[in-house]
Structure 1
Amino acid sequence: MGDFPYADRFTVNRTLPEQGRPRADVLAELHAMAEEEDAFWESGKCSGTMYSGDHEHYRFLAEAFGDFAHVNVLQRDMCPSATKLEGEIIAMALDLMHAGAVEDTTTAGMVTSGGTGSILHAVLAYREQAAARLNGRRPNFVKPETGHPAFDKACHLFGIELRTAPVDPANTVVDPADVARLVDRDTIAVMGSAGNYGYGTIDPIAELGQLALERGVGLHVDGCLGGFILPFGEELGYDVPAFDFRVPGVTTISADTHKYGYSFKGSSTLLFRDKALRNAQYFHLAGWSGGKYMSPGIEGSRSGGLLAATWAAMVHYGRAGYRAHAQEIFATAASMMAAVRSHPELRIMGHPTFCFSFTSDDFDIYHVADRMRERGWRFNGQQYPNAIHMAVTRPQTRPGVAEEFATDLAEAVAYAREQHAAGKEAFSSAIYGGVAGGLTTEVEDLIVAVMSDMLDIQQGLPPVGTG
């Protein structure tokens, strides 16, 4: 649609209109955009993004959301339902993460605005709890290279030194010995993924937990992606190692309800082995003229709609519902990975479960991405090495999607061979690819410039006379 989508079809609002439009007119415009945009992911040809893909479920959540959309959950005296809903969301998530295995402390949790929100709050809690021990020294946090960039963001925002451990290129997980070499007296915590976004592989959480106990640091398990599907994969008999509170040394876990928990975007859970760590990141201001102020998290006002929708999704599906969807997803992922493995030129990265990436040692994998895009597929590209990422969600479990993937992949591999033999470069490398030797200052400056240009366009308006 170009830089200014829908400008040729709908009015561009350059100022607040003097007279408002009828509700039916406004809704008709929104419905038209939503219907057209839904048509893309409904094909099942996209990685991740739409985890449920069930319009009946979305309508159910929308009804639950609508009843509480106008509610501010800070005002618990006016809306005590928020206490019930949030408390039960946390209790159900703690149960899923085997909080019952914890005997020596009182477990607790928070509902946050998403995976990044959960990670930010976890890192902040570790920093605040360690402040007295560090006595002014700068804290550091250790993550595997595959750890989500939200940890980098948290360290940047909170003045924490980030130390990055390499991952084994063969199995795509971190070696605890490499993490141990980066831990010192100023380390506040380390982390491992279950699983990491890039490859869907699970770091050795048990070994990292032992390391954390020996060195007296926290261990955060990032289950933002896998937290609401891996437990059910384990129940189904898949090879899912323990990564939750059953593992000694695990002190916090993030698990997104807005991914495989099938709630609306904007909800996640952060779980604590010991509520004292949760309490460490509270903010309070006793002397403000507006009254005594205290906030349990970074956010202030929040809509009760997200709590209602998340609670509704969890109690509607229950363990049996989540397990049934997990079974379909794991089976579909296995089928799609089998299609990849049927081509000797392609290689699966590590040993993934429901989310996987593949590359090629024979040609640039982005040639495959180019041809698959022509067939309507939307993948996430990766670098170091170039790879194609596929997070299997419910839309891929629909009849025929996995078979179509196998057919289109076979044709794309043949195309990639031809392009490689002809010495042609892949188009996708300009979008997804990295640069040899890693990031340089010039490349970082370019990325900032591109992002700025994107925001200026996406938050801007088309030229006057258009729309």
Structure 2
Amino acid sequence: MNLPATGRTPEDLLAELAALREHDLPVRGGQVTSYVYDTGRPEVHEAAARGYLEMLEVNSLDPTAFPSIVEMEKQVVGAVADLLGGGHGIFTSGGTESIMLAVKAARDAAGRARPNLVAPVTAHPAFHKAAHYLGLEVRAVPVDLGTYKVPVQAVADAIDEDTVLVVVSAPAYPQGVIDPVEEVAAVAASAGVRCHVDACVGGWLLPWLREAGADVPPFDLSVPGVTSISCDLHKFGYAPKGASVVLFADPALRRRAYFASAAWPGYTIINATVQSSRTAGPLGGAWATLQALGRDGYLELGRTTLEAAARLRKGIAGIDGLRVLGEPESTLIAFTGDDVDVFVLADEARARGWLMQPQLSYAGIPANLHITVTGVTLAGVDAMLEVIAESAAAARRIGPATLPDGLVDLIAGLDLDALDDAAFAELAASVGVDLRPGTGQPRMAVVNTVLDALPAPVRESVLVRFLSVIYG
């Protein structure tokens, strides 16, 4: 039974939480190079935690009941608008929800019977998720394999009378490069189509990098033709998770993102977000973080991340067999190996306490490892480069991950829907993958090698089964 017969003390609960987190990766210090964002300033995280806790029990469902959330959201959204060319915004739970609302607004405003959106293959899967939920077709456009940016003419060729939204990234997460926003927005505008800039990663980073001296092209709502933009504050805003903003160029388009229903005898339903009842904790945490850091704090973080990224790119390029993909304008870096299995390298780095995020090959882009450089990275750049070099050498000695003969063909030919979770777990165990909880950080080279060899739809089916087994 999961529910205890009697209540437990806070001390007892915290002790168990500590035990449960024994195998978690660390969220501070910069050794986890994705998923978490660290300023390296404990007092800022403390302010965020206190702001989050203060608003924890406030329900954002009804802003008339809790006027504090209206004022705080105006301040937070206003700060993002000041940085990104104006607009009218909504505070959301994350980039996926911001993107969902942008897609909904564009779909509803266009009123097409068979709507589609045009996006580079490097655009975040949140657009595919939004399209799946909202009934749109995604027209994926290949990127240039030298720059990893979407070609403007390819976007123009993909637009038709049913296109309701064109997407560009600033930057695209996989390689950290910025799509040609001005040119694509102009093409979209000439076709009468709205243009969304996915700046979930870069929205609260690129302006500070520019102010710190980086060459950052125009990408925000000040660009003619850009009609919406998304910006996550729980990334380079360093706020607690659950904090993002979507901005619209005009309030009429923002209203298209809202949902209202009066077709029932209960309380008034008007939602600015996908969620209805939701804690105001993330809003409190984001507000406190912005206030605690201020302009000077973010500018200093921009300087340190810029320096760290430059040193990291140069250092990786100096390691035998490794090369950085493209020329990232942001502080996201992807690198691959010419004679090194990057999936084995990732396992070796993880064994040394560092997480490098594997990215599978797709659309002509080779398998690679991703690093997000944050405010705390500069202090550990030399240590990170040493680990990458050691891990690359170890991966070269070990050689590529080996798979049992016929395994990829076997999985590709399986009817995964006919396979129960227990049978799938046995299949995973047969290639050395233990999916049981509490078994520590796994070695994933074999899993990633299998996934990399499979077509995207089969990859997706396998990933769904992994998740189902993990959660039982």
TM range (shorter): 0.7 to 0.9
TM-score (norm 2): 0.85
The size of the alignment, in residue pairs, is 427
Report the equivalent of 1:374: 351
1:17 aligns with 2:33: no
- 2:66 maps to which of 39, 64, 79: 79
Report the equivalent of 2:80: 93
Shift in CA distance, 56/431, structure 1 to aligned 2, threshold 3 Å: farther
Shift in CA distance, 238/413, structure 1 to aligned 2, threshold 3 Å: same
- 1:128 maps to which of 108, 117, 122: 108
1:316 partner SS: helix
Q: Can you list the C-alpha shifts for 1:247-283, whole angstroms capped at 9, x where unaligned?
A: 1111111000111111110110000111111101222
Tell me the CA shift for residue 397 of structure 1.
Answer: 2.7
1:167 aligns with 2:154: no
- 1:314 maps to which of 286, 290, 315: 290
2:376 partner SS: helix
Q: Distance in 2 between matches of 1:165 and 1:321?
A: 38
Letter in 2 for 1:318: G
Letter in 2 for 1:412: S
Report the equivalent of 1:383: 360
- 1:200 maps to which of 150, 173, 176: 176
Shift in CA distance, 220/434, structure 1 to aligned 2, threshold 3 Å: farther
Shift in CA distance, 340/441, structure 1 to aligned 2, threshold 3 Å: closer
Shift in CA distance, 451/406, structure 1 to aligned 2, threshold 3 Å: same
Q: Conserved in 1, the CA contact under 8 Å of 2:402 and 2:446?
A: no
Tell me the CA shift for residue 98 of structure 1.
Answer: 1.9
Letter in 1 for 2:116: N
Q: Conserved in 1, the CA contact under 8 Å of 2:97 and 2:273?
A: no
Shift in CA distance, 289/195, structure 1 to aligned 2, threshold 3 Å: same
Letter in 1 for 2:332: C
1:59 aligns with 2:36: no
Letter in 1 for 2:13: V
Report the equivalent of 1:258: 234
Q: Distance in 2 between matches of 1:123 and 1:365?
A: 35
Tell me the CA shift for residue 382 of structure 1.
Answer: 1.0
**Unaligned 5+ runs, structure 1:** 1-13, 100-106, 457-467
Tell me the CA shift for residue 446 of structure 1.
Answer: 2.9
Shift in CA distance, 360/288, structure 1 to aligned 2, threshold 3 Å: same
Shift in CA distance, 327/436, structure 1 to aligned 2, threshold 3 Å: closer
Q: Distance in 2 between matches of 1:181 and 1:361?
A: 34
Shift in CA distance, 254/444, structure 1 to aligned 2, threshold 3 Å: closer
Q: Distance in 1 between matches of 2:59 and 2:451?
A: 46
Report the equivalent of 1:414: 393
1:446 aligns with 2:462: yes
Q: 1:344-355 alignment to 2 at 5 Å?
A: 344-352=320-328, 353-355=330-332
Q: Distance in 2 between matches of 1:214 and 1:167?
A: 22
Q: Conserved in 1, the CA contact under 8 Å of 2:259 and 2:272?
A: yes
Q: 1:243-322 alignment to 2 at 5 Å?
A: 243-322=219-298
Q: Distance in 1 between matches of 2:27 and 2:76?
A: 28
Q: Distance in 2 between matches of 1:16 and 1:424?
A: 43
Q: Conserved in 2, the CA contact under 8 Å of 1:220 and 1:250?
A: yes
Report the equivalent of 2:416: none
Tell me the CA shift for residue 59 of structure 1.
Answer: 1.9
Report the equivalent of 2:158: 182
Q: Distance in 1 between matches of 2:80 and 2:191?
A: 28
Letter in 1 for 2:337: S
Report the equivalent of 2:415: none
1:290 partner SS: coil
Q: Distance in 1 between matches of 2:259 and 2:446?
A: 44
Shift in CA distance, 294/236, structure 1 to aligned 2, threshold 3 Å: same
Q: Distance in 2 between matches of 1:264 and 1:41?
A: 12
Letter in 1 for 2:82: D
Tell me the CA shift for residue 447 of structure 1.
Answer: 2.9
Report the equivalent of 2:333: 356
Tell me the CA shift for residue 344 of structure 1.
Answer: 4.7
Tell me the CA shift for residue 327 of structure 1.
Answer: 0.9
1:363 partner SS: coil
Q: Distance in 1 between matches of 2:118 and 2:358?
A: 25
Q: Conserved in 1, the CA contact under 8 Å of 2:360 and 2:452?
A: no
**Unaligned 5+ runs, structure 2:** 404-442
Report the equivalent of 1:113: 93
Letter in 2 for 1:124: K
Q: Distance in 2 between matches of 1:120 and 1:285?
A: 19
Shift in CA distance, 236/445, structure 1 to aligned 2, threshold 3 Å: closer
Q: Conserved in 2, the CA contact under 8 Å of 1:382 and 1:433?
A: no
Q: Distance in 1 between matches of 2:126 and 2:64?
A: 34
2:270 partner SS: strand
Q: Distance in 2 between matches of 1:298 and 1:367?
A: 39
Deviates more, 1:370-379 or 1:227-236: 370-379
Shift in CA distance, 296/414, structure 1 to aligned 2, threshold 3 Å: closer
Report the equivalent of 1:45: 31
- 2:13 maps to which of 9, 26, 30: 26
TM-score (norm 1): 0.86
1:405 aligns with 2:417: no
2:26 partner SS: helix
Q: Distance in 2 between matches of 1:396 and 1:155?
A: 35
Q: Conserved in 2, the CA contact under 8 Å of 1:50 and 1:395?
A: no
Tell me the CA shift for residue 325 of structure 1.
Answer: 0.9
* Identity percentage of aligned residues: 37
